[in-house]
Amino acid sequence: MKIIITGAAGFIGSAVARHIINDTQDQILILDSLTYAGNLESLVTIAQSDRYQFAHVDICNRPELDRVLAEFQPDAVMHLAAESHVDRSIDGPAAFIETNIVGTYTLLEAARQYWQTLGETGKKAFRFHHISTDEVYGDLHGTDDLFTETTPYAPSSPYSASKASSDHLVRAWLRTYGLPTIVTNCSNNYGPYHFPEKLIPLTILNALEGKALPIYGNGTQVRDWLYVEDHARALYKVVCEGEVGETYNIGGHNERKNIEVVQTICRLLDELVPKKPGNLANYADLITFVTDRPGHDMRYAIDASKIDRELGWKPQETFESGIRKTVEWYLANQTWWQRVKDGSYAGERLGLTR
């Protein structure tokens, strides 16, 4: 296949791109506007493949979308481009409305126009795969409840509200115009190349520097953690085998409280990096509880039985195996995260824009 992946210089998108180039024979064209979280250095290992192309394109730029769709002639679009950090959405919601809602609308219209130019066989085979989040469902109050594909939407933050809106647009374009769409909603991802503002990489890097490890509230918020490479495999399976009009929830079957996640990282670092900064006895001594964020959801948990039952996907990593791989990756790839932290990653394009 020929697949356009939006936002593939980001965390999840780059994992999808690496999976497709390394494990399939498909061609990809990456569209990314290279905002702060877009990092071409996450694509270095595949950038020399003759099945890889990159275009510096904003999904709100309709003429550019029309141009690349017409030139590349994709069989599928995997839409991952999004503003995704809840704290940033609280401080500045406008960017989330623009990218997640207006951008998705613009991409849908460009894809619809392109799709209408295809012959009947091409129209039938084409897929628009929209990648979303479990945060659109709000939070769970019981200890045994799970988000299913039919859970009502109840977003709590500007981020999750903007993603919920984009999900509705995608489904409407299927029902109104017949554009063959699929939606997936995933739980919290973690793993290599994760931008350092998020909980797990922030904890690893702060600990290595002897800085405070901030935890919102009392740290009892529960998340279902999904290793990003497991997610990439699931997304590729959906775009290849998923049914048009269906929604698939993708989860890691790994519920953990935030405080437990941080404590696990600290124990791993005690083992892997015993020489600690300063006079620190244990990395866990750096844990600091801070004022909770507004509207903070208490628990997310995914029922991923549908994608297992219908498409045969299940995660390969447990939280224990995935978090060890993640910590070891950050320890072995200091150049990558140091360039993110000092901002130098944004100043170079590495010649990857061919």
Three-state secondary structure of 162-185: HHHHHHHHHHHHHHHHCCCEEEEE
pLDDT tens for residues 324-339? 999 999 999 999 999 9
pLDDT tens for residues 230-269? 999 999 999 999 999 999 999 998 999 999 999 999 999 9
Confidence of residue 67 (pLDDT cuts 50, 70, 90): very high
What is the rounded distance in angstroms from the CA atom of residue 213 to the CA atom of residue 217? Answer: 13
What is the rounded distance in angstroms from the CA atom of residue 213 to the CA atom of residue 209? Answer: 10
pLDDT of residue 347: 57
pLDDT higher than 70, residue 219: yes
Among 137, 159, 190, 236, the active-site one is 159
pLDDT higher than 70, residue 349: no
Q: Which residues contact 37 (CB under 8 A, 6 or more apart)?
A: 10, 11, 84, 85, 195
pLDDT tens for residues 100-150? 999 999 999 999 999 999 999 999 999 999 999 999 999 998 778 999 999
Among 32, 58, 83, 134, the active-site one is 134
Confidence of residue 220 (pLDDT cuts 50, 70, 90): very high
pLDDT higher than 70, residue 216: yes
Distances (CA, A) of 46 to 35, 56, 227: 21, 17, 20
pLDDT tens for residues 37-53? 899 999 999 999 999 99
Beta-strand relationship, 76-79 and 287-290: unpaired
Mean pLDDT of the chain: 94
pLDDT of residue 294: 87
Cα-Cα-Cα-Cα dihedral sign, residues 268, 220, 12, 96: negative
The kind and range of the H/E element at 268 are: helix 258-272
Fold of 2-347: Rossmann fold (3.40.50)
Among 135, 167, 224, 255, the active-site one is 135
Least confident of 80-84, 146-150, 291-295: 291-295
Q: Which residues contact 210 (CB under 8 A, 6 or more apart)?
A: 276, 277, 278, 280, 286
- Tokens matching residue 296: 């903070």
pLDDT higher than 90, residue 228: yes
Each domain of the chain, given as residue ranges in start order, spans 2-347
Cα torsion at 252, 258, 261, 265 (round to 10°)?
Answer: 140
Is 50 part of the annotated catalytic residue set? no
pLDDT tens for residues 105-118? 999 999 999 999 99
- Can you give the pTM of this predicted structure? 0.95
Distances (CA, A) of 40 to 12, 14, 44, 89, 344: 13, 9, 7, 24, 12
Beta-strand relationship, 255-257 and 222-227: antiparallel
What is the rounded distance in angstroms from the CA atom of residue 296 to the CA atom of residue 330? Answer: 28
pLDDT of residue 84: 84
Is 91 part of the annotated catalytic residue set? no
User: Stretch 330-354: mean pLDDT, rounded?
Assistant: 78
pLDDT higher than 50, residue 171: yes
Q: What are phi and psi of 78, to 5 degrees?
A: -110, 115
Tell me, what DSSP letter sits at residue 323? H
Q: Which residues contact 15 (CB under 8 A, 6 or more apart)?
A: 191, 192, 193, 228, 229, 231, 232
Is 135 part of the annotated catalytic residue set? yes
pLDDT of residue 348: 52
Report DSSP letters for 63-119, one per residue.
Answer: HHHHHHHHHH--SEEEE------HHHHHH-THHHIIIIIIIHHHHHHHHHHHHHTS-
Q: How many residues does the chain have?
A: 354
Name residue 223's beta-bridge partners.
256
**Any idea what the Cα angle at residue 23 is, between residues 7 and 180, rounded to 5°?**
50
User: Stretch 73-77: mean pLDDT, rounded?
Assistant: 98
